[in-house]
């Protein structure tokens, strides 16, 4: 059974949430290709602040066949708030394997390989590819993912592949467990039992209202009912947060070129500003991580109490279960 929630009452219009504004850091991008045994098998796309400092790390797993670079606008927004985003790419072997056997096992193993690369040698691997004045804080690492990558992120957090990297938080961006509840991808993690996930970290779920709608009557939903965000959230233990971008589709947070392409052939897209959708998703990332990595819950509290006075898009429902 999926639990239903309603958003909180709105507060005075003077409220703001700075997490939805661009951050104060300038950002840079790095592409890390497979070149030696010291680099993980998946190629890496890294977005980071340019200013000198030590920053939390977000390991972000892309959706099925989605290029990791196509999230660059979202990553740049998050990095501008002081985060290093590490996004493994798709290997040809992983793509073919996923197509042929309809499994996410390879995605989870690739994610574990990247996680181990990050943490090995006390972070020196990641440090070597970053600018000299930018350092990763391996005590503040978040695991996140979109679509099939969201499911892979949950699977890695649940121990379906081995990693020594300790994650402090988990964020699922419209995660998808499979084409339908009878054909969930391996490793199967949804059991449809409330608070069933054995996770020792706070979790945030960002869902889309149109993700379980088909495209043009010809294509099945990209995030089908029974395998999508409310079912993931239903199995999360507190502390957990839940936000649904009511008027947007499953791909509306990626870069514009891919939104347009996927909207024609793959999945339904919303009519609102995709830049606002990316800003909303990025702002939720920032607010959630400020609360659980830095003990600053002002923005998260404001979003939960008055989502549609501060968010650039309509969020409904919104929920924060603290304990």
> ω before 181 within 30° of 0 (cis)?
no
Yes or no: say if 130 and 48 are a contact pair by the CB < 8 Å rule. Answer: yes
Pair of tokens at residue 11: 């507060």
The reply to whether 48 belongs to the active site is: no
Yes or no: say if 240 and 204 are a contact pair by the CB < 8 Å rule. Answer: yes
Spatial separation of the C-alpha atoms in residues 190 and 101, rounded to whole Å: 19
Nearest to 304 by CA among 286, 293, 316: 316
Pair of tokens at residue 218: 């010809």
Spatial separation of the C-alpha atoms in residues 193 and 107, rounded to whole Å: 25
Spatial separation of the C-alpha atoms in residues 280 and 19, rounded to whole Å: 9
Which position among 107, 110, 174, 213 bears the catalytic label?
Answer: 174
The reply to whether 250 belongs to the active site is: yes
Pair of tokens at residue 160: 């379906």
CA dist list (Å): 16 to 240, 283, 285: 22, 12, 16
Under DSSP, the state recorded for 299 is H
The set of residues, in sequence order, having a beta carbon less than 8 Å from that of 129 and lying 6+ positions away, is 30, 32, 44, 46
What size, in residues, is the chain?
323
DSSP 50-81: -SSEEEEEEEEEPPTT--GGGGHHHHHHHHTT
Nearest to 245 by CA among 213, 209, 288: 209
Which position among 70, 72, 80, 147 bears the catalytic label?
Answer: 147
Spatial separation of the C-alpha atoms in residues 302 and 66, rounded to whole Å: 33
Which position among 69, 81, 146, 250 bears the catalytic label?
Answer: 250
DSSP 241-272: EEEEETT--TTTTS-HHHHHHHHHHTS---SS
The reply to whether 174 belongs to the active site is: yes
Active site residues: 147, 174, 250
């Amino acid at each position: 059974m999926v639990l239903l929630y309603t958003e909180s009452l709105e507060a005075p219009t003077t409220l703001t949430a700075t997490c939805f504004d661009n951050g104060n850091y300038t950002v840079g991008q790095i592409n890390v290709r497979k070149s030696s045994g010291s680099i993980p098998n998946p190629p890496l796309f890294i977005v980071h602040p340019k200013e000198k400092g030590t920053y939390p790390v977000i390991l972000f797993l892309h959706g099925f066949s989605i290029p990791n670079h196509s999230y660059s606008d979202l990553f740049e927004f998050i990095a501008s708030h002081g985060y290093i985003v590490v996004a493994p790419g798709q290997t040809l072997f992983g793509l073919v394997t996923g197509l042929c056997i309809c499994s996410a096992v390879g995605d989870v193993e690739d994610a574990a390989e990247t996680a181990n690369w990050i943490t090995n040698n006390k972070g020196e691997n990641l440090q070597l590819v970053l600018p000299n004045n930018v350092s990763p804080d391996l005590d503040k690492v978040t695991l996140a993912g979109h679509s099939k990558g969201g499911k892979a992120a949950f699977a890695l957090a649940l121990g379906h592949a081995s990693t020594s990297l300790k994650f402090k938080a988990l964020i699922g961006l419209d995660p998808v467990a499979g084409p339908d509840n009878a054909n969930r991808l391996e490793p199967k993690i949804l059991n449809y039992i409330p608070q069933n996930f054995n996770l020792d970290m706070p979790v945030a779920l960002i869902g889309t209202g149109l993700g379980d709608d088909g495209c043009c009557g010809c294509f099945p939903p990209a995030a089908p009912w029974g395998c999508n965000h409310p079912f993931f959230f239903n199995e999360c233990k507190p502390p957990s947060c839940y936000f649904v971008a009511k008027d947007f589709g499953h791909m509306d947070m990626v870069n514009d070129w891919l939104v347009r392409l996927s909207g024609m052939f793959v999945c339904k897209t919303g009519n609102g500003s995709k830049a606002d959708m990316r800003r909303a998703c990025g702002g939720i990332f920032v607010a959630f991580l400020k609360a659980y990595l830095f003990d600053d819950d002002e923005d998260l509290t404001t979003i939960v109490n008055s989502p549609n006075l501060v968010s650039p898009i309509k969020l409904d429902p919104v929920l924060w279960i603290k304990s």
